[in-house]
């Protein structure tokens, strides 16, 4: 029986960091080293200012990383990639797999160059047997590529067993998801050696996950595809309900009532059925496009176009939202102040990758609106840097003002766009709240121009919008909110207020 005593995780990002923190905290006898090429990222993991925000993450990292009188420290963060690989008997590959930007499949295929580079480095360095675990989300069949690399580059006497163990955590609830996963999938080649390796990984999880939730007998291709399939089906539900929201706006139907009624059907269930301005995050779009590309290369054009529509509806929904606001402001936004509450793609994370807020900001910048932006977890500097990188620093310096609070952003605004469903936008949770009560903060009270009156009819107070418009997205994530046109008639959320 193989046992794991030393784990290395290549990639200290949103997946590698939290996953290994939980693995280490639950397996005191196992040493876990998370490595990354980025020195600043590793420095941050070794400090009290972690590089990412997740509820509960700080505590769990400090518990395992710092140790105590009662417990040894067994979680390490390092840039010594080769040293950690050398020592490990199990290696998670947790690097990014973005959409390819150039070459064959650009704009659709997953770029696995970082996975490949990590595998090559492992193959070059390893002098003892290793269990290699694909944690990154990869196209179906990637394990074969890895096996080829190990065979071509690795020492002949070293055994490499490749497993697929996709990660299903959702940002914003990563620690809760990791502590209580719905399932752990471990795909292997199905050979006696492969199954032994799968069982060794299963034992690591069994330190806290009930055995019946650990499926260590899955075929490796199924395991790879299951992750893509799960993300695609979650994204598809969001696009489905969003497409129905447009029908509601054009008729008299109420999307909230539709979501509720449909969700009561046990075969459908209530999750991921709230209309929103669309899903964001680094995974949904890229994973759906990855599946689209796979279908294309497998000569299944009908399958490809079916899934492509999920992304198309999402883009359309984001665009519709921006156009609605522009129309509501008499189709002239130039010089008007728009408050943007939330830049992260969902609450409880500072992650802004593929955030619908950024797409919205792009549209508002092209209209030359003045943007006042606040997000509790995206700092002043990051707002300027990230938007500057995306839209040009000159334009951002001219039109974007990061704000220190929702109140400051909303002052003198002609419209308030709630882009992330942070609790503080609905509950007045955070302090200080010196002069204004968030519940009283309607657009009309802050606006000075007649146009704002029109805006008032399209964007109600943040506190009254939030609950109605939250929508689950990626892997249980919540989608940014869509300001309703008025609280009594949520079916007309994106309709033309002038009608």
User: Closer to ligand NAD at the Cβ: 15 or 248?
Assistant: 15
- List the one residue from 31, 36, 249, 367 that touches ligand NAD (CB under 6 A): 36
Q: Which of 283, 403, 410, 479 is catalytic?
A: 283
Instruction: Give yes or no: 283 in active site.
Output: yes
Q: Report the distance separating Cα 248 and Cα 145, nearest Å.
A: 47
- List the one residue from 37, 44, 179, 195 that touches ligand NAD (CB under 6 A): 37
Q: Is 414 in the site for ligand NAD (CB under 6 A)?
A: no
Please answer whether residues 317 and 277 qualify as being in contact, where contact means their C-beta atoms are separated by less than 8 angstroms: yes
- List the one residue from 7, 15, 197, 304 that touches ligand NAD (CB under 6 A): 15
Q: How far is the CB of 17 from ligand NAD (least distance, A)?
A: 8
- CA-wise closest residue to 187 among 172, 173, 197, 177: 197
Judge whether 137 is annotated as a binding position.
yes
Judge whether 388 is annotated as a binding position.
no
Q: How far is the CB of 144 from ligand NAD (least distance, A)?
A: 17
- List the one residue from 8, 12, 149, 292 that touches ligand NAD (CB under 6 A): 12
Judge whether 205 is annotated as a binding position.
no
Judge whether 36 is annotated as a binding position.
yes
Q: What is the 3-state secondary structure (H, E, C) of the chain?
A: CCCCCEEEEECCCCCHHHHHHHHHHHCCCCEEEEECCCHHHHHHHCCCCCCCCCCCHHHHHHHHHHCCCCCCCCEEEECCHHHHHHHCCEEEECCCCCECCCCCCCCCCECCHHHHHHHHHHHHHCCCCEEEEECCCCCCCHHHHHHHHHHHHCCCCCCEEEEECCCCCCCCCHHHHHHCCCCEEEEECCCHHHHHHHHHHHHHHCCCCCHHHEEEEEEHHHHHHHHHHHHHHHHHHHHHHHHHHHHHHHCCCCHHHHHHHHHCCCCCCCCCCCCCCCCCCCCHHHHHHHHHHHHHHCCCHHHHHHHHHHHHHHHHHHHHHHHHHHHHCCCCCCCCEEEEECCCCCCCCCCCCCCHHHHHHHHHHHCCCEEEEECCCCCHHHHHHHHHHHHCHHHHHHHEEECCCHHHHHCCCCEEEECCCCCHHHHCCCCCCCCCCHHHCCHHHHCCCHHHHHHHCCCCCHHHHHHHHCEEEHHHEEECCCCCCCCCCHHHCCCCCCC
Q: Is residue 401 classed exposed, middle or buried when 0-12, 13-18 and 19+ CB atoms within 10 A define those classes?
A: middle
Q: Is residue 383 classed exposed, middle or buried when 0-12, 13-18 and 19+ CB atoms within 10 A define those classes?
A: buried
Q: How far is the CB of 81 from ligand NAD (least distance, A)?
A: 5
Judge whether 8 is annotated as a binding position.
no
Q: How far is the CB of 116 from ligand NAD (least distance, A)?
A: 9
Q: Please give the residues from 287 up to 346 whose contact with ligand NAD meets the rule CB under 6 A.
A: none
Q: Please give the residues from 219 up to 258 whose contact with ligand NAD meets the rule CB under 6 A.
A: none
Judge whether 285 is annotated as a binding position.
yes
Please answer whether residues 328 and 415 qualify as being in contact, where contact means their C-beta atoms are separated by less than 8 angstroms: yes
Q: Which residue has the tokens 């993450």?
A: 57
Q: Please give the residues from 78 up to 117 whose contact with ligand NAD meets the rule CB under 6 A.
A: 81, 94-97, 114, 117
265 Cβ partners below 8 Å, 6+ apart? Answer: none
The site map against ligand NAD for 147-176 (x = CB under 6 A) is --------------------x-x-x-----
Question: Which residue's beta carbon is nearest to the bound ligand NAD?
Answer: 13
User: Closer to ligand NAD at the Cβ: 16 or 462?
Assistant: 16
User: Closer to ligand NAD at the Cβ: 41 or 130?
Assistant: 41
The site map against ligand NAD for 54-83 (x = CB under 6 A) is ---------------------------x--
Q: What is the largest CA-CA distance in the chain?
A: 78
User: Closer to ligand NAD at the Cβ: 167 or 468?
Assistant: 167
User: Closer to ligand NAD at the Cβ: 84 or 246?
Assistant: 84
Instruction: Tell me the site size for ligand NAD, rule CB under 6 A.
Output: 27
User: Closer to ligand NAD at the Cβ: 95 or 248?
Assistant: 95
Judge whether 14 is annotated as a binding position.
yes
The site map against ligand NAD for 271-290 (x = CB under 6 A) is -----------xx-------
User: Closer to ligand NAD at the Cβ: 118 or 326?
Assistant: 118
User: Closer to ligand NAD at the Cβ: 160 or 399?
Assistant: 160
Q: Is 136 in the site for ligand NAD (CB under 6 A)?
A: yes
- List the one residue from 13, 181, 376, 480 that touches ligand NAD (CB under 6 A): 13
Q: Report the distance separating Cα 451 and Cα 255, nearest Å.
A: 28
Q: How far is the CB of 80 from ligand NAD (least distance, A)?
A: 11
Q: How far is the CB of 227 from ligand NAD (least distance, A)?
A: 7
User: Closer to ligand NAD at the Cβ: 117 or 207?
Assistant: 117
Q: Which stretch binds ligand NAD (CB under 6 A): 32-40, 187-195, 241-249, 465-473?
A: 32-40
- CA-wise closest residue to 100 among 87, 90, 114, 86: 114
Judge whether 16 is annotated as a binding position.
yes
Judge whether 12 is annotated as a binding position.
yes
Q: Is 20 in the site for ligand NAD (CB under 6 A)?
A: no
Binding-site members for NAD(+) are: 11-16, 36, 41, 95-99, 136-137, 171, 283-286, 353
**What residues act catalytically?**
283
Instruction: Please give the residue ranges that form the binding site for ligand NAD (CB under 6 A).
Output: 10-16, 35-38, 41, 81, 94-97, 114, 117-118, 136-137, 167, 169, 171, 282-283
């Amino acid at each position: 029986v193989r046992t794991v005593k030393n784990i290395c995780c290549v990639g200290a990002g949103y997946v590698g960091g939290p996953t290994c923190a939980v693995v280490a905290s639950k397996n005191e006898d196992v040493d876990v080293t998370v490595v990354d090429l980025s020195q600043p990222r590793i420095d941050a993991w070794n400090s009290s200012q972690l590089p990412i925000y997740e509820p509960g993450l700080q505590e769990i990292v400090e518990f395992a990383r710092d140790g105590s009188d009662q417990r040894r420290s067994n979680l390490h963060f390092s840039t010594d990639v080769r040293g950690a690989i050398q020592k490990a008997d199990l290696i998670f590959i947790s690097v990014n797999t973005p959409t390819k930007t150039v070459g064959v499949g650009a704009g659709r295929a997953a770029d696995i160059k970082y996975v490949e580079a990590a595998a090559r480095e492992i193959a070059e360095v390893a002098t003892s047997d290793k269990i290699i675990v694909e944690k990154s989300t990869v196209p179906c069949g990637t394990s074969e590529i890895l096996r080829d690399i190990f065979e071509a580059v690795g020492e002949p006497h070293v055994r490499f067993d490749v497993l697929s163990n996709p990660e299903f955590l959702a940002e914003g609830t990563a620690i809760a998801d990791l502590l209580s996963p719905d399932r752990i999938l471990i795909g292997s080649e199905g050979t006696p050696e492969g199954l032994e390796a799968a069982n060794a990984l299963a034992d690591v999880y069994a330190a806290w996950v009930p055995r019946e939730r650990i499926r260590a007998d899955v075929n490796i291709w199924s395991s790879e595809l299951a992750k893509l399939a799960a993300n695609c089906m979650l994204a598809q539900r969001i696009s489905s309900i969003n497409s129905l929201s447009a029908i509601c706006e054009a008729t008299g139907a109420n999307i909230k009532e539709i979501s509720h009624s449909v969700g009561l059907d046990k075969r459908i269930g209530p999750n991921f059925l709230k209309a929103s301005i669309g899903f964001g995050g680094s995974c949904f779009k890229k994973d759906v496009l990855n599946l689209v590309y796979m279908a294309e290369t497998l000569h299944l054009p009908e399958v490809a176009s079916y899934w492509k529509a999920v992304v198309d509806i999402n883009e359309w929904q984001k665009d519709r939202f921006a156009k609605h606001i522009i129309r509501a402001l008499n189709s002239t936004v130039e010089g008007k102040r728009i408050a943007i509450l939330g830049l992260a793609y969902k609450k409880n994370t500072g992650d802004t990758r593929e955030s619908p807020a950024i797409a919205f900001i792009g549209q508002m910048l092209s209209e030359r609106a003045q943007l006042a932006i606040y997000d509790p977890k995206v700092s002043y500097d990051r707002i300027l840097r990230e938007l500057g990188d995306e839209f040009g620093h000159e334009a951002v310096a001219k039109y974007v003002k990061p704000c220190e609070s929702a109140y400051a952003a909303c002052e003198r605004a002609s419209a308030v766009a709630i882009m992330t469903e942070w609790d503080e936008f609905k509950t007045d949770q955070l302090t200080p709240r010196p002069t204004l009560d968030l519940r009283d903060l309607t657009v009309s009270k802050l606006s000075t121009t007649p146009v704002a009156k029109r805006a008032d009819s399209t964007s109600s107070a943040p506190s009254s919008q939030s609950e109605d418009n939250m929508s689950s997205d990626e892997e249980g994530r919540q989608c940014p909110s869509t300001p309703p046109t008025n609280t009594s008639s949520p079916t007309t959320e994106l309709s033309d207020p002038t009608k």
